[in-house]
């Protein structure tokens, strides 16, 4: 999968969980009103889709679609 494609997919996960339409690669989860409950739902969606289990700490350090995509690429199976 290309990096752009992966970022696009992760952006869709962000959009679905946050109920926001205009998610870009750099959209910050917390700036968009994300909280711990919604973070778990992004993390579980990423785990289901890519088999990559992020911790809270990892997600806190990587709260944008681009950064999550990078984690998936580096940790992915």
Partner 1 sequence: MRVVVVGAGLAGLVAATRLATAGVRTTVLEARDRVGGRTRGIEVAPDRWVDAGAAYLGHRHAELNALITDLGLKTTPTGMVGRSRFALDPGPPRTAPDRFPPLNAVALGEMFDALDEVTRTVRADAPWLTPDAARLDRLTAADWLDRTVDHADARRFFPLFLGEMMAADPADVSALHMAFYLSSGGGIRYLNAFEGGAQQDRVDGGAHQLCQLLARALGDRVRLSRPVRAIHQDGGDVVVHTTGDAWRCDAAVVAVPPALADAIDHRPALPVRRTGPRTAPGGAVKVHLVYPEPIWRAEGLSGWSVDAGGPMMSTVDDSPAAGGAGVLTGFVTGARARRFAGLGHPEQHATVTAQAARLFPELPAPRQIHVTDWIHETYSRGCYAALFGPGDWVERGPHLREPHQRVHWAGTETSPEFFGLMEGAIRSGDRAATEVLTHY
Minimum distance from residue 64 beta carbon to partner 1 (Å):
17
Q: How far apart are CA 74 and CA 58, in angstroms?
A: 12
Minimum distance from residue 44 beta carbon to partner 1 (Å):
3
Instruction: Give the residue among 20, 2, 16, 14 at the shortest CA–CA distance from 64.
Output: 14
Cβ closer to partner 1: 7 or 42? 42
CA distance from start to end of the chain? 13
H helices within 1-77, ranges in order? 3-18, 36-50, 56-61, 65-75
Minimum distance from residue 12 beta carbon to partner 1 (Å):
16
Residues that bind partner 1 (CB under 8 A): 33, 35-45, 47, 53-56, 59-60
Cβ closer to partner 1: 52 or 69? 52
Cβ closer to partner 1: 39 or 67? 39
């Amino acid at each position: 999968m290309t990096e752009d494609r992966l970022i696009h997919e992760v952006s869709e996960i962000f959009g679905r969980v946050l109920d926001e339409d205009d998610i870009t690669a750099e959209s910050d989860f917390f700036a968009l009103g994300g909280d711990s409950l919604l973070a778990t739902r992004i993390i579980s969606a990423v785990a289901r889709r890519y088999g990559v289990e992020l911790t809270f700490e990892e997600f806190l350090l990587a709260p944008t679609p681009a950064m999550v995509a990078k984690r998936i690429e580096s940790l992915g199976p």
